[in-house]
Amino acid sequence: MDKAIVTCALNGVLTNPLQHPVPVTPEQMAASSKEAYDAGAAIVHIHFRQQAEGMGHLPSWEPDVAAACSEAIREACPGIIVNMTTGVVGADVSGPLACLARIEPEIAACNAGSLNYLKLRSNGQWAWPPMLFDNPVGKVKTMLDAMKEHDARPEFECFDVGIVRSVGLYLGAGMCETAQYNFVMGVASGMPADKDLLELLMRYKNEASTWQCTLIGRQEIWEVHQRAAELGGMLRTGVEDTFYLPSGERTTGNGQLIEALVQCARNAGREVASPDEARAILGLRGAA
């Protein structure tokens, strides 16, 4: 079985850094990436946050912020592969496109379909106002065209089985040349974090394509990580996705989570890939 490519989901989009161990500044992002890199991560998936005091819980699409963050990470972690978010609600994608052009990541996340993004509290009230995370085909194509222009490999974020199947249609329509899947499991209104469902998804992805899971939840997600390792997938975790270790304890940061994920790989008889080995497996161009 191939070596396991490990991704650290460094920080996410809205989690409050005053409440959770989420890096926001370039210095914090570099330090947290180094912990993950030293633990075995070959890829770091990054979001950008506003840098003004008290605003770090909000996203930023300022190219200068993106450049400062990515440069700090690359300096702290020689050879690491940068995977950049492009997710944005609404038709205006100018911010993600500007950041993509500025930092030229080797991988860029491409949200592959729309989802009613919902969550209920225990009292039956909405955790936030129901919202549509809109990713119609025209928006997806705009993102893919920009990724092709900047030689960034698209990683398709798939929130349900229909979106997984849509990726095959994008390939058939010539919208992209390759498909790298990220099965997002654990969103309340999307696919559950379920190892049995994960096995079924193998039937519906492009046979030759690489894949991984984003598993959102607590201690219960780790049995699905283990099954992903056994099925030969890439592996991903980080404080964007969870704050909980397999023991049920809260993590102090990304390094602990990556250590636990590497153990899942080794439990399955796999060692982890270095950044250069990951590039070879994925056919990436190398850092700009």
Tokens of 116: 């009613």
Between CA 7 and CA 31 the distance in angstroms is 16
pLDDT at 235 over 90: yes
pLDDT in tens, 124-137: 999 999 999 999 99
Beta bridge partners of 107: 83, 153
pLDDT at 288 over 60: no
In the chain, what percentage of residues exceed pLDDT 90?
91
Q: Which residues contact 19 (CB under 8 A, 6 or more apart)?
A: none
Q: What is the mean pLDDT of the chain?
A: 96
User: Residue 18 has what pLDDT?
Assistant: 86
User: Residue 53 has what pLDDT?
Assistant: 87
pLDDT in tens, 257-285: 999 999 999 999 999 999 999 999 999 97
Between CA 278 and CA 80 the distance in angstroms is 10
pLDDT in tens, 170-211: 999 999 999 999 999 999 999 999 999 999 999 999 998 999
* 107 close to 43: Cβ distance less than 8 angstroms: yes
pLDDT band of 47, cuts 50, 70, 90:
very high
Between CA 236 and CA 229 the distance in angstroms is 10
Question: Could you please report the per-residue DSSP string of 43-57?
Answer: EEEE--B--STT-TT
- What domains can you pick out in the chain, each with its CATH number? 6-282 (3.20.20.70)
* 50 close to 93: Cβ distance less than 8 angstroms: no
- Number of Cβ within 10 Å of residue 33's Cβ equals 29
* 233 close to 275: Cβ distance less than 8 angstroms: no
User: Residue 2 has what pLDDT?
Assistant: 87
